[in-house]
Structure 1
């Protein structure tokens, strides 16, 4: 469930931010802000579903997932294939997220 919540949150956040980008940088109508705002609200909600003992830890681990999802967006939506350095960086970030999520916690 945690992984699904993280990836759902990442897609919602990227879509919401892209809606704002499209309005401000691509000259789209301000109506793009309506679904963008809804998407950002969905992002915030999905992060509350993550099984974590502290919000900060949930957000820290999310950062790695967000980076990988952003590169997926770059490729699938923007049509620019990530290079090996992008992929290597994302792998490092996902490894860090895994350590944060599943690392043993002492008493």
Structure 2
């Protein structure tokens, strides 16, 4: 369970970075060269999703919970936005959903 969760967090970081870099280019006037590491990051994101043993729909559903948590942590750490009790509560619910789905992988 821990290995799966950590893999999901790395996967989410790759997806967020792969989307954040083009955002910097389009919204903040950063160099278009950022599109190269963005493409690499998104390719790595896709590859990491294939490392899970469950059916793709289950992987995507479970990954969604970790993505929510990772995106909120990104919002706090990178964007400097203070998270509310609602943010933390939603993150906890999403993470619990992921854990429930992953716990059932071998039983489905």
Same fold (TM > 0.5): yes
Q: 2:15 aligns with which of 9, 13, 16?
A: 13
- Taking structure 2 as the reference length, the TM-score comes to 0.91
- Structure 2, unmatched stretches of 5+, are none
2:77 counterpart residue number: 76
Q: CA RMSD in A?
A: 1.2
Instruction: Describe the SS at the equivalent of 1:51.
Output: coil
- Taking structure 1 as the reference length, the TM-score comes to 0.92
2:40 counterpart residue number: 38
CA drift of 1:77 comes to: 1.0
Displacement over 3 Å in runs of 4+: none
CA drift of 1:91 comes to: 0.7
Residues matched between the structures, number: 105
